[in-house]
Amino acid sequence: MLCGSYFRVTFVNIYKGKVLITQLIPQAVFLFIKILAEAVIQALQELWNNRLRTFLSVLGITIGIFCVIAVQMMVESVQQNVKQSFARLGNDVVYIDRFPWDEDPSMNWWKYIKRPMPTLSEFKAIESKAMSAGAVAMRIIIQGQDLKHRNSVVENVPMAAATHEFGNIFNLEFEDGRFFTTVESQLGGNVIVLGSKLASNLFPNLGSAVGNEVRMKGKKLTVVGVLKPEGQSLLGDGFDEVAILPYNFMRRYIDPNSERVMPLIAVKAADGVNTEQLKDDLRAVLRAERKLKPKEDDNFALNQMSLLTAVIDNVFAVINAAGFLIGIFAILVGGFGIANIMFVSVKERTGIIGIKKSLGAKNYFILIEFLIEAVFLSILGGLLGLLAVWLLSLVGNNFVESFKLVLSMNNVKTGIFLSVVVGVLSGFIPALSAARMNPVEAIRQKF
C-alpha cells in the first residue's frame, strides 16, 4: 500500500500534457536522518560543554594513533627510499658473485668464501656465448686512491673500474660529457668519469670539469664526463663521490682477480628475454667455464635486485608489526578512557534519558546518540594524532636528508579506520546500558 506508514507519497496528476513527477521517499529514511542529525548535535553539545573532559578523553587515542601511524610512515618512507635506490639498478639485471644476496653470508661463510671470484675470461665467455644477454659488464672496486687537480686534492676516492657496457646497465645519467667510448674502454684509455660532488670538489672554480685533467698516482686522466647528482640515500650517496675508469686501464696497475677489488659481472637481459631464461644461459656458460661436473653444485651465485627487496620487505614487515603492536596498546588505553568517560556521561544524563524514553524515544535512538558521541571522541583523537604525525614529517624532513618522510593517504585511512573502530568498541557498552534503562527508574534516580 503506497500510503502506508513506511512511505511518504506525493501524487501529482498528469493534466493537459503537463508531466509532473511522482516521488516515493521512504519515511524510515527521513526518520533515520533526523535521529542521526539530532544525535550528532547532542554529541557536539556535550563535548563542547565538557571541554576538559573531552580533551583528556581524546588524548589517549591521539597518542595511540600517533604511535601507530608514525611508525608506519617512517617504515614506508625508508622502504620506498631503499626500493627506489634498487630500482635504478634494474630488475632485468643478473649479478654474478660468490655470495647469494638472499641468504645470511655468515650461515655458510666457509662454503662461499672458497668459491672462485668472477674473472675476465668468464666475462668474455658470457659476452660471446650467452645469447639471451643484451649487455655484459665487468666491474672492480679500488679504494683509497687520491685524485688531484692543481691545488685541489680529494683523498680516499672510491673508484670503479668497469667495461664499456657499465654505463648502460647502471643507467648512468650525465650532467656534462659522456661515458667511455668502445675504443677507450678496449684500449684502456687515460679517461675518467666523475661523480657530481667529486667534480665540484676537484674543480671548484671551473664551470665544467670535462676536458680537464686530474692525476692519480702521477698518471694523467682526462675527464670525459660528469654524472648528474643523485643526492643522499640510505644506501649511500650513489655515484656522487665516485670516479669511474676503464677496466683495461686499471688492469695495468692492479690484479683484477684479487678479492680486495671485489670483481662483479653484471648481465642485462636482451629485449623480450625474461631473467629466468637469462639465468639458465648464464648457468650453462659458467659451469662450462669452471668445468663443473653434472652432479656438482654451482660454485657461483646469480643474484637480482628482487632478492634484496624481498629480504628488505620481510625486515620492514617485522618492524611495522612491532610498531603497530606498541601503538595498539596505547590505543587500548585511550579506548578504556573513552569508555570510562561515556559511563560518566550516561550517569550524568540518566534523568534526561528517562524523560526522552517516556516521551517515546526508542532504544536505538538512545543507543545511536551515545555511540555517535563515543565515535566523535575517538575520531577527534585520531585526527589530532594524524596532525601530529604530519607535523613530525615536516620537522623530520628538515633534519633527515637520506630519505623523505611522507604521510600517505593509506596511513590517513588506517588512522581514521582505527579511530572509528575504537570509538564503536569503547562506546557500545555504555550506549547499550543507556538504551536499556527503564524510563521510570531513570527519572526516579535523577529527580
What's the grid cell of residue 224? Answer: 670525459
List Cβ neighbours of 128 (8 Å cut-off, separation of 6 or more). Answer: none
pLDDT computed for residue 224 by the predictor: 93
pLDDT tens profile 12-24: 443 344 444 344 4
Q: With the C-alpha atoms ordered 214, 220, 222, 227, is the resulting torsion angle positive or negative?
A: negative
Q: What angle do CA 114, 116, 122 make, to 5 degrees?
A: 165
pLDDT computed for residue 17 by the predictor: 43
**Length of the chain (residues):** 447
Q: What is the mean pLDDT of the chain?
A: 81
DSSP per-residue string spanning 205-269: T-S--TT-EEEETTEEEEEEEEEPP---BTTB-TTTT-EEEEHHHHTTTS-TT-GGG--EEEEEE
pLDDT tens profile 378-419: 888 889 999 999 998 888 888 776 667 888 888 899 889 989
Calculate mean pLDDT across residues 194-212: 86
pLDDT computed for residue 85 by the predictor: 67
Longest dimension (CA), the chain: 105
Q: What percent of the chain has pLDDT over 70?
A: 85
pLDDT computed for residue 192 by the predictor: 93
- Give the CB-side neighbour count of residue 74, counting CA atoms within 13 A: 16
Q: With the C-alpha atoms ordered 320, 61, 379, 66, is the resulting torsion angle positive or negative?
A: negative
How many whole angstroms separate alpha carbon 327 and alpha carbon 64?
5
pLDDT computed for residue 434 by the predictor: 86
| Contact call for residues 379 and 417 (beta carbons, < 8 A) | no
What's the grid cell of residue 253? Answer: 696497475
**Residue holding cell 544525535?**
39
Model pTM score:
0.64
Of the pLDDT bands very low, low, confident and very high (cuts 50, 70, 90), residue 87 is: low
Q: Which amino acid is at 408?
A: S
pLDDT computed for residue 9 by the predictor: 38
With the CA atoms of 392, 394, 397 and 398 taken in that order, what torsion angle do they form, in degrees rounded to the nearest 10?
Answer: -110
CA distances from 276 to 92, 273, 304 (A): 10, 8, 11
What are the sequence ranges of the domains in the chain? 26-83+311-446, 93-303
| Phi–psi pair at 81, nearest 5 degrees | -65, -45
| Contact call for residues 404 and 80 (beta carbons, < 8 A) | no
pLDDT computed for residue 318 by the predictor: 81
Instruction: Please check the confidence at residue 230 and state whether its pLDDT lies above 90.
Output: no
How many whole angstroms separate alpha carbon 77 and alpha carbon 74?
5
Calculate mean pLDDT across residues 280-294: 91
Of the pLDDT bands very low, low, confident and very high (cuts 50, 70, 90), residue 1 is: very low
How many whole angstroms separate alpha carbon 148 and alpha carbon 154?
7
Of the pLDDT bands very low, low, confident and very high (cuts 50, 70, 90), residue 50 is: confident
Instruction: Please check the confidence at residue 47 and state whether its pLDDT lies above 60.
Output: yes
Calculate mean pLDDT across residues 43-70: 79
How many whole angstroms separate alpha carbon 70 and alpha carbon 406?
10
pLDDT tens profile 328-372: 887 888 888 888 888 888 888 888 888 888 877 788 778 888 888
Q: What percent of the chain has pLDDT over 90?
A: 14
Calculate mean pLDDT across residues 429-440: 86
pLDDT tens profile 291-314: 998 888 888 889 887 766 666 777
Which helix or strand (DSSP H or E) is residue 139 part of?
strand 133-149
Which helix or strand (DSSP H or E) is residue 36 part of?
helix 27-49
Measured from the Cβ of residue 91, the count of other Cβ atoms closer than 10 Å reads 12
b/e burial code for range 264-303 (CB count within 10 A of at least 16 → b) = bbbbbbbeebebeebbebbbebbbebeeeeeeeeeebbbb
